[in-house]
């Protein structure tokens, strides 16, 4: 990944050299390479350089007729199929060249023909003097924009706009409030006043002095009628393998994160098997060990390593959270620091530093796409699919809990069709407008920023992209703004190193299938127990070691978050944190919450423990670090 940015003078007058110089100087310099610039009259397009790319690679791609100029960041999926349809050679074209060729040949329809979960695109039409900004459907790669000083400016990182335009670093307090209680729902906001986010699957058009933001993405689904359970298992295997091969297609070394969970284990095992069949370089597997901790998954990851016949990079997960590094990253990226995760232990590993991979595979998306819930019952009931409905509820033929399963049918299948509030919760499972504002926040401040009102309006601001209740509930979590806030620090860190994250479970063709798959194939009753990820478990027979394939538990990393927070608070008085000083957070409530986790630590860190407000406590500490390191105005 590289990063892109651009500016357009909204009256179409020529950009002056001082504006260009200042904006370019605000973009990050990577591996000693300054951002590449293309400019013509009122518009300038800039691309940050990857440490790996050719030193003479152009900043932009231009259509054959010279009309369209494209700036691209990210990755297209199944690019060889796209190249074939465009009648060009895939190996001779970059993703940016494929994108601009698609728009030159197909016009507006190209918007729907680019497959990918992780890209942003800017196209300048020289003839129409029109700027188009487009973001991929799943929204992994962010895109920000603002209007200032007679300019429309955009960038993949907010810091590029802040630094390039020398904007005042003033926080959007309402967005910060959402973040501190870990219910960040706004689709178009950022942590900065005056800087807007383009929502996932959306586009911004600027032409003739007018701006229009619209949502372009609608789910493409396939007809699944008549498929047996065995057919679905084979269909999933086929699509997942195709997505894996697409993710393994890399010009440089590929690495993979292995936790020992079902999802990352599937990615590692299947990657190893496909490489042995197809040929190519075996991915380097990286895993983090937490000996003695409740979150340690070594026995599962060891089983995968042995079965795959690989030599892993092993990092120490017991090392304390490095707050000095977190502060430096918050200062550099102008973002709150990321939670304790695999990235920091690996970054400290000499083996990882020596590897210098280009691509990192993850198991992200397995829980969301394949975990399963009972929301599918409403769609089946509405469409009269009673055979599938009963198969899902009574798949194991055990009748001793019939009342409980009929209660599932009432709660998840019938009541949402009768009551608007239940239907709202079904379509937007990540939103609950009925939740109260936490007592940690100062009530007067929460009212002033209209926090409760923002939560109430959030469902109406989330686009409808699917034709069924089940499809809409499947998509909603993937446009959660809080996902963007959680992942952006990691994306910034990996972009800086020239690393590209790839997520096979988010492959666009696989997800098009999973959107409308019968819900009982994801979660079903087996032996009187509700089993999640049933389809994945069936598809990975003879792929995964049985202890991994059949595990039902998940690692809980809450203790690592609590340790990091308490390490930070050992150095700071809760009353001196900036969110308290600014009147956003109650010092009394914060002090009591910190004391609760300090008592847990003194008792020997027993597990399980109360993690109910731990995410909020982490968010407050992270926001304090951001306010300080990013020099946010008071």
pLDDT in tens, 88-137: 998 889 899 999 999 999 998 999 999 888 899 999 999 999 999 999 98
Judged against a pLDDT cut of 70, whether residue 518 lies above it is answered with yes
| pLDDT at residue number 425 | 75
| pLDDT at residue number 66 | 95
Q: Which two tokens stand for residue 142?
A: 């962010």
Query: pLDDT band at residue 219, thresholds of 50, 70 and 90?
Result: confident
Give the β-pairing of 359-361 and 524-526: unpaired
* Average pLDDT of the chain, as a whole number: 87
For the segment 573-596, the average pLDDT, to the nearest whole number, is: 95
Task: Please state, in angstroms and rounded to a whole number, the distance separating the CA atoms of residues 200 and 223.
Answer: 25
| pLDDT at residue number 563 | 93
Phi, psi of 128 (to 5 degrees): -85, -10
Query: pLDDT band at residue 482, thresholds of 50, 70 and 90?
Result: low
Phi-psi region of 279 (alpha: psi -120 to 50; beta: other; left: phi over 0): left
Task: Please state, in angstroms and rounded to a whole number, the distance separating the CA atoms of residues 346 and 351.
Answer: 9
Count of C-beta atoms within a 10 Å radius of residue 352: 17
Query: pLDDT band at residue 353, thresholds of 50, 70 and 90?
Result: confident
The conformation of residue 346, written as its DSSP 8-state character, comes to H
Q: Which two tokens stand for residue 451?
A: 């926090």
Task: Please state, in angstroms and rounded to a whole number, the distance separating the CA atoms of residues 136 and 276.
Answer: 32
| pLDDT at residue number 432 | 67
Judged against a pLDDT cut of 60, whether residue 437 lies above it is answered with yes
Q: Which residue has the higher pLDDT, 179 or 2?
A: 179
Judged against a pLDDT cut of 90, whether residue 567 lies above it is answered with yes
Q: Which residue has the higher pLDDT, 170 or 118?
A: 170
- Residues of the chain with pLDDT > 90: what percent? 54
Are 67 and 104 in contact by the 8 Å Cβ rule? The answer is yes
- Which residue carries 């200032």 as its tokens? 148
Helix (H) / strand (E) element for 113: namely helix 110-113
Are 172 and 136 in contact by the 8 Å Cβ rule? The answer is no
Q: Which two tokens stand for residue 594?
A: 């910190």
Query: pLDDT band at residue 505, thresholds of 50, 70 and 90?
Result: very high
Helix (H/G/I), strand (E/B), else coil: 192: strand
Are 489 and 337 in contact by the 8 Å Cβ rule? The answer is yes
Range name among 2-6, 58-62, 88-92, 375-379 with the lowest pLDDT average:
375-379
For the segment 445-467, the average pLDDT, to the nearest whole number, is: 83
Q: Is 56 exposed, middle or buried (0-12, 13-18, 19+ CB in 10 A)?
A: exposed
| pLDDT at residue number 65 | 95
Query: pLDDT band at residue 400, thresholds of 50, 70 and 90?
Result: low
Task: Please state, in angstroms and rounded to a whole number, the distance separating the CA atoms of residues 100 and 85.
Answer: 14
Choose among 619, 626, 627: nearest CA to 339.
619
- State how far the alpha carbon of 510 is from the alpha carbons of 196, 365, 439, in Å: 31, 11, 42
Highest mean pLDDT (candidates 324-333, 506-515, 603-612): 324-333
Judged against a pLDDT cut of 80, whether residue 155 lies above it is answered with yes
Are 256 and 361 in contact by the 8 Å Cβ rule? The answer is yes
Helix (H/G/I), strand (E/B), else coil: 605: coil
Angle between helices 614-629 and 173-180 (to 10 degrees): 140
For the segment 531-560, the average pLDDT, to the nearest whole number, is: 92
| pLDDT at residue number 374 | 73
Omega cis (within 30) before 99:
no
For the chain, the first-to-last Cα distance in angstroms comes to 34
- Residues of the chain with pLDDT > 70: what percent? 93
Task: Please state, in angstroms and rounded to a whole number, the distance separating the CA atoms of residues 465 and 462.
Answer: 9
Range name among 51-65, 68-82, 298-312 with the lowest pLDDT average:
51-65
Query: pLDDT band at residue 196, thresholds of 50, 70 and 90?
Result: very high
Query: pLDDT band at residue 517, thresholds of 50, 70 and 90?
Result: confident
Judged against a pLDDT cut of 60, whether residue 356 lies above it is answered with yes
Residues 6+ apart with CB under 8 A from 232: 224, 517, 518, 521, 535
CA 380-383-386 angle, 5° bins:
50
Task: Please state, in angstroms and rounded to a whole number, the distance separating the CA atoms of residues 177 and 446.
Answer: 7
Judged against a pLDDT cut of 70, whether residue 52 lies above it is answered with no
Torsion angle of the four alpha carbons 47, 167, 488, 180, in this order, in degrees rounded to the nearest 10: -170
CA within 13 Å, CB half, 170 = 4
User: pLDDT tens across 299-347, in order?
Assistant: 999 999 999 999 999 988 888 999 999 999 999 999 999 888 766 677 7
| pLDDT at residue number 530 | 76
Largest CA distance in the chain: 77
Task: Please state, in angstroms and rounded to a whole number, the distance separating the CA atoms of residues 194 and 211.
Answer: 15
Q: Is 160 exposed, middle or buried (0-12, 13-18, 19+ CB in 10 A)?
A: buried
For the segment 485-498, the average pLDDT, to the nearest whole number, is: 85
The conformation of residue 499, written as its DSSP 8-state character, comes to -
| pLDDT at residue number 521 | 87
User: pLDDT tens across 227-249, in order?
Assistant: 888 999 999 999 999 999 999 99
């Amino acid at each position: 990944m590289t990063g892109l940015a651009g500016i357009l003078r909204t009256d179409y007058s020529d950009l002056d050299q001082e504006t260009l110089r200042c904006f370019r100087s605000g973009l990050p310099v990577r591996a000693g390479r300054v951002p590449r610039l293309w400019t013509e009259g009122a518009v300038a397009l800039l691309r940050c350089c990857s440490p790996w790319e050719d030193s003479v690679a152009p900043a932009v791609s231009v259509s054959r007729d010279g009309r369209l100029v494209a700036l691209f960041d990210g990755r297209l999926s199944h690019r060889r199929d796209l190249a074939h349809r465009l009648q060009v050679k895939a190996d001779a074209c970059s993703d940016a060249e494929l994108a601009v060729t698609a728009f030159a040949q197909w016009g507006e329809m190209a918007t729907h023909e680019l497959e990918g979960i992780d890209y942003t695109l800017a196209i300048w039409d020289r003839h129409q003097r029109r700027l188009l900004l487009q973001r991929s459907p799943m929204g992994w790669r962010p895109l920000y924009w603002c209007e200032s000083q007679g300019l429309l400016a955009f960038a993949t990182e907010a810091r590029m706009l802040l630094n390039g335009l020398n904007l005042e670093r003033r926080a959007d307090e309402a967005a910060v409030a959402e973040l501190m209680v870990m219910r960040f729902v706004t689709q178009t906001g950022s942590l900065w006043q005056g800087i807007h986010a383009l929502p996932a699957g959306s586009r911004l058009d600027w032409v003739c002095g007018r701006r229009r933001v619209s949502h372009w993405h609608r789910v493409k689904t396939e007809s699944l009628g008549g498929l047996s359970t065995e057919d679905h298992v084979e269909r999933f295997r086929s699509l997942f393998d195709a997505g894996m091969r697409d993710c393994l297609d890399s010009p440089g070394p590929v690495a993979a994160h292995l936790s020992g969970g079902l999802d990352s284990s599937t990615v590692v095992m299947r990657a190893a098997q496909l490489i042995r069949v197809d040929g190519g370089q075996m991915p380097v597997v990286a895993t983090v060990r937490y000996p003695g901790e409740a979150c340690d998954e070594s026995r599962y990851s060891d089983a995968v390593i042995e079965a795959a016949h690989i030599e892993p990079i092993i990092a120490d997960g017991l090392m304390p959270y490095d707050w000095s590094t977190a502060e430096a990253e918050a200062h550099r990226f102008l973002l709150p620091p990321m939670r304790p995760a695999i990235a920091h232990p690996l970054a400290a590993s000499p083996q990882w530093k020596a590897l210098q991979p280009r691509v990192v595979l993850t198991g992200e998306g397995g829980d969301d796409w394949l975990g399963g819930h009972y929301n599918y019952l409403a769609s089946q009931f509405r469409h009269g699919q009673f055979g599938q409905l009963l198969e899902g509820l009574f798949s194991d033929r055990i009748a001793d809990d019939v009342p409980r399963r009929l209660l599932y049918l009432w709660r998840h299948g019938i009541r949402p069709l009768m009551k608007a509030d239940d239907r709202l919760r079904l379509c937007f499972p990540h939103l609950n407008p009925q939740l109260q504002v936490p007592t940690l926040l100062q009530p007067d401040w929460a009212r002033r920023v209209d926090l409760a009102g923002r939560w109430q309006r959030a469902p109406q601001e989330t686009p409808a992209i699917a034709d069924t209740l089940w499809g809409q509930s499947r998509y909603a979590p993937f446009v959660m703004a809080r996902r963007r806030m959680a992942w952006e620090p990691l994306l910034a860190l990996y972009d800086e190193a020239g690393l590209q994250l790839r997520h096979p479970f988010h492959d666009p063709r696989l997800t098009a299938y999973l959107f409308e798959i019968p819900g009982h194939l994801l979660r079903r009753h087996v032996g009187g127990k509700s089993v999640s990820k049933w389809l994945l478990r069936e598809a990975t027979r003879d792929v995964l070691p049985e202890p991994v394939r059949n595990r039902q538990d998940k690692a809980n990393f809450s203790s690592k978050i609590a340790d990091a927070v308490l390490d930070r608070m050992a150095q700071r008085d809760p009353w001196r944190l900036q969110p308290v000083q600014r009147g956003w957070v109650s010092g009394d409530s914060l002090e009591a919450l910190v004391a609760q986790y300090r008592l847990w630590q003194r008792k020997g860190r027993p597990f399980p423990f109360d993690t109910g407000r731990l995410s909020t406590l982490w968010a407050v500490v992270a926001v304090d670090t951001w306010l300080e390191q990013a020099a946010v105005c008071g």
